[in-house]
Structure 1
Amino acid sequence: MPTPDIAWAYPLLLKTHLGLVVTSVGLFSVRALAALQGQGWPLHKAWRRASEAVDTALLTAGASLWWLLQLNPLHTPWLGLKLGLLVVYIALGTVAMRSTASRSVRALFLLAALLCVAFMASVALARHPLGWWAP
């Protein structure tokens, strides 16, 4: 737990992090679904930059929580797995947004990305690497 002099920051950082998670996943989902429908706006530079800005803020809030709680992803199994799944989610999402992939491939990767982020959330909520399968 954070030291008493900075404990006030925890609820603020946690709410910020959770809000940014919802914003990031929501923006990705809307963009990916629109791209699947053949719309061009999801691939425009402004929308990509907006996603990058939200994701940068999300990573900053997450890293601030690690620092505040003195967590080390190398020594905290659930956090290490969550970060590994983040890399998988980014890779899946990248393919889901690729205009060069077929529509069925993009749909499959979108579904896989959303399942990945759902499992990441379960790992974070359970604070256990098995997430929703934790004992």
Structure 2
Amino acid sequence: MLKQAHIGLVSLSLICFAARGLGVLAGAAWPMRTALRRATVLVDSLLLAAGLGLWAQLGWAPMTWLFAKFGWLLAYILLGTLALRRAHGQRARWLCFLLALLCAAQLVATARAHHPLGRLA
């Protein structure tokens, strides 16, 4: 059940990021509204809690693919922050947005394959 919750939260988080990113890139104000930002923080917090719960079920074993997944997660967060708020100029925001989505895709591939290289393995 925890795994299904984690997968559902991953999907919801990525859909929210993609929608907000496209909204920001289109110049809309709604993606940065406080209620929506707080809702995405809640979803991401629940996602992290579910991920930690799954890791606990695995016995907290150090797994190379899991550490790679955390690396992709950090890159996704950094690039997502740049895409939504911090990057200067439309071109830089688009680049950060697309790179964040690529990091998210690699993160999912790594999780599914249980290998640091994901589908590249």
Q: TM-score range by the shorter chain?
A: over 0.9
Taking structure 2 as the reference length, the TM-score comes to 0.96
Matched, 1:54 2:65: no
Question: C-alpha offsets along residues 12-38 of structure 1, whole Å, 9 cap, x if unaligned?
Answer: 001000000000010010001011000
Report the count of equivalent residues: 121
- Report the AA paired with residue 116 of structure 2: P
Provide the C-alpha distance between the structure 1 equivalents of 2:13 and 2:116, rounded to a whole number of angstroms.
22
Q: Which residue of 2 aligns with 1:4?
A: none
For 2:56, what is the secondary structure of its paired residue? Answer: helix
Question: C-alpha offsets along residues 86-117 of structure 1, whole Å, 9 cap, x if unaligned?
Answer: 11100000000016621111111010000001
Q: Which has the larger radius of gyration?
A: 1
Equivalent of 1:39 in 22, 28, 31:
28
Instruction: Give 1:1-135 correspondences, 5 Å limit.
Output: 12-72=1-61, 75-98=62-85, 101-134=88-121
Question: C-alpha offsets along residues 19-62 of structure 1, whole Å, 9 cap, x if unaligned?
Answer: 00000010010001011000011111111101100000000000
- Report the AA paired with residue 111 of structure 1: L
- Which contiguous aligned blocks of 4+ residues in structure 1 show a shift greater than 2 angstroms? none
Provide the C-alpha distance between the structure 1 equivalents of 2:69 and 2:44, rounded to a whole number of angstroms.
15
* Partners of 2:87 and 2:93 within 8 A in 1: no
User: Which blocks of at least 5 consecutive residues in structure 1 are unaligned?
Assistant: 1-11
Provide the C-alpha distance between the structure 2 equivalents of 1:66 and 1:89, rounded to a whole number of angstroms.
20
Provide the C-alpha distance between the structure 2 equivalents of 1:18 and 1:71, rounded to a whole number of angstroms.
19
Q: Which residue of 2 aligns with 1:9?
A: none
